[in-house]
Structure 1
Amino acid sequence: MSPDVALREISLPFTDPAAESASLLLEAALANSTHPTEVEKLLRQHLLTDPNYLPAYFAMYKLLFRQSRLAEAEEIARTALKSGAQLGGFASSWQHLSLNTVDWSVIHSPAHFYLFTLKALSFILLRRKQLDECREILEKIGELDPHDLLGASVIRTYADGLTAH
C-alpha cells in the first residue's frame, strides 16, 4: 500500500472530525504495509508545508517512538507542544499552565492536543529514564486533568514501579 492510499479514514481525539484531512497522516504512520521511511518523509514534508498541522506531529512522534528513536520523538513532541499552545492561545511552557488557562476538556481543540502530547512526552521521558521531569509533567497533567480522562495515571504507575526498584 502506498502512503497516499494509507492516508485514509481514522480520527484523532484532538482534531475536528468534520475535517477531511484531520487524521490522514496517522493512518499512514500506523499502516503496517507502508514503509516507515516513506511515512517519515511524508510527515516531515507535511510539517514543512504546514507546521501547525497537529495530527502530523502526533503521527511523527508516535512513529519515532515505535522505532525507539526517543530523542527525536522528544524533540518532535516538544515542538508539537509549542504549536498546540500557539494555536490554542496559551503559554507553551507547561509549568505556567493552570486548570483555568483554557478549557482543557474540549476534545477537538489545540488544548486537548497539548495535554495529549504532554502525556506522550512524559512517557518518552520515562523511557529515556528522565524520571524527575517525567514526574513533574505527570503532576501538571494531574492538575490540568483532575479526572484522569487522558489516562496519565497509567504512566504514573509505570514511573512509580521504576522508582521502587
Structure 2
Amino acid sequence: MSAPHPIELRLSPDTTNFGDLPREIDDLLQQGVVAYRRDRAAAEALFRKALAAAPEALPVYFCLYKIHTYQGNLDAALGAARSGLQEAARQAGWPADWRAWSPQPLAADGAARFALYTLKALAFIHLRREEPEAAAAMLDALRVLDPTGAVGWPVVAELAAGLR
C-alpha cells in the first residue's frame, strides 16, 4: 500500500477583477460582492458608497445594474445601467444618446466597450420589463456598432427572438 498523498490546502482570493481602479474603490466593490451573498442591502450600500466616491468608475455601475437585475428590481437596474451608459459614452467621447453612435474599432477594454456592453445589458433589462420594442432598437444598434458580437449581444438577441 502506498503512502497517502499529503493534502495541500490552497487558498485563492475570492475576488473579482474590476480592472484598474483606485484601491479604496476596488475594496468597496470586493466587499460588496462578498456581502451580496448574505446581505443584499449591505452590498448595495457598499456599491453606492463607491459610486459617490468615484462616479467615473464604470465597474460600479456594472455592479449596481447586475445586483438589481438579479433581484428583479428592474427599475433600479434600468436607472443604474442608463447612468453607466451615459458615463461610458462621456468617457469614450461619444454622444450621450446611443442612437447617434457610429461604428468604431472596439478595444479589448475601456469606456467604448463598456458602453456597448451596457447597451446590451439595457436591452436585456427591457426584455425583462416586457418592453420588446426598446430592446429591439438597442439590439439593432448593436448589430451595427458591434457586428462581430464581441460584447455578447447575440445571446440577448436569441432571447428576444425566443420571446416572439
Q: Any stretches of 5+ residues in structure 1 without a counterpart?
A: 1-6
Between structure 1 and structure 2, the one with the greater Rg is: 2
TM-score (norm 1): 0.81
Partner of 1:84: 88
- Runs (4 or more) in structure 1 with deviation over 6 Å come to none
Give the Cα separation in 2 of the matches to 1:46 and 1:30: 12
User: Unpaired runs of 5+ in structure 2?
Assistant: 1-12
Instruction: Select which of 41, 53, 56 maps to 1:52.
Output: 56
Q: TM-score, normalised by structure 2?
A: 0.82
C-alpha deviation, 1:107, in angstroms: 2.1
How far apart, in 1, do the equivalents of 2:157 and 2:29 lie? 26
Separation in structure 2 between the aligned mates of residue 63 and residue 45 of structure 1, nearest angstrom: 15
Q: What amino acid is the match of 2:126?
A: L
Partner of residue 3, structure 1? none
**Relative contact order (C-alpha < 8 Å, sep 6+): which is higher?**
1
- Report the CA distance between 1:144 and its aligned residue: 1.0
Determine if the alignment matches structure 1 residue 73 to structure 2 residue 73.
Answer: no
Alignment partner of 1:107 is 2:108: yes
Q: Distance in 1 between matches of 2:144 and 2:45?
A: 36
Alpha carbons 2:29, 2:46 under 8 Å: kept: no
Fraction of identical pairs, as percent: 30
Please tell me the root mean square deviation across aligned C-alpha atoms, in Å.
2.2
Cα distance in 1 for partners of 2:80, 2:37 equals 24
Deviations 1:1-49 (A, max 9, x none): xxxxxx973224xx44x86567555544443544111110111111112
Task: Give the conservation status (yes or no) of the 8 Å contact 1:106–1:112.
Answer: yes
In the alignment of these two chains, the number of paired residues is 151
Residue 57 of structure 1: how far off its partner (Å): 0.5
Q: Does 1:11 align with 2:17?
A: yes
